[in-house]
Structure 1
């Protein structure tokens, strides 16, 4: 089962990205950065990054409002016995990278 999880994570990441592209209309750039499926395959967390960052909450609210349609698209695209129930989160790793870079720049001066 452990060999299957990374494959399912990557497949889910790609399919959710395609579903978001077709379902969510926004002037922000939305990227699915990663997906993590539970060991039981019942639940999955999908992280998205949004540019510009100040639109992240607005985009996340749109995604959550359309979660039913997105889940239905994923259910049709994935040929799995159990399709995980998806939950979305904002990926804040780029914010952390930016903060680290700023600190490094300050220490070098």
Structure 2
């Protein structure tokens, strides 16, 4: 169970990362990146960022590219939130496939 502070910081990181990925996605036409959830550890040192990437066939390659540039993304995030947080958490990116899972269940139920 997350504390109120963890939830507030998670929402703030989600908002800032969403605006950053909006700018990044403009460099890659045909790809839409959405930050669906940010979970942060109790010591505020690691943030697990869940991304939904559309279209699904480019998801793995886009996620690999994001993981490759995670240090740069963390630095840019630190510049944006430097007045709210003393230490910027390490970012761990994961692919959020809940929409694909729901779509698959929907297909199975329609049969």
What is the TM-score when the length of structure 1 is the normalising length? 0.89
Which has the higher Rg, Structure 1 or Structure 2? 1
Gaps of 5+ in 2: none
- Matching residue of 1:65: 68
- Matching residue of 1:97: 102
Do structure 1's residue 10 and structure 2's residue 1 form an aligned pair?
A: no
* Cα offset, 1:21, TM superposition: 2.4
Contact 1:29 1:50 in 2 (8 A): yes
Do structure 1's residue 22 and structure 2's residue 27 form an aligned pair?
A: no
Mapped partners of 2:15, 2:59: distance in 1 = 20
Contact 1:26 1:59 in 2 (8 A): no
SS in structure 1 at match of 2:57: helix
Gaps of 5+ in 1: none
Deviations 1:32-81 (A, max 9, x none): 11111111100011011111100001111221122121100111112212
RMSD: 1.5
Aligned structure 1 segments of 4 or more residues deviating by more than 4 angstroms: none
- Using the TM superposition, name which of 13-22 and 83-92 deviates more: 13-22
- Pair 1:9–1:72, CA change in 2 (3 A): same
Contact 2:74 2:88 in 1 (8 A): no
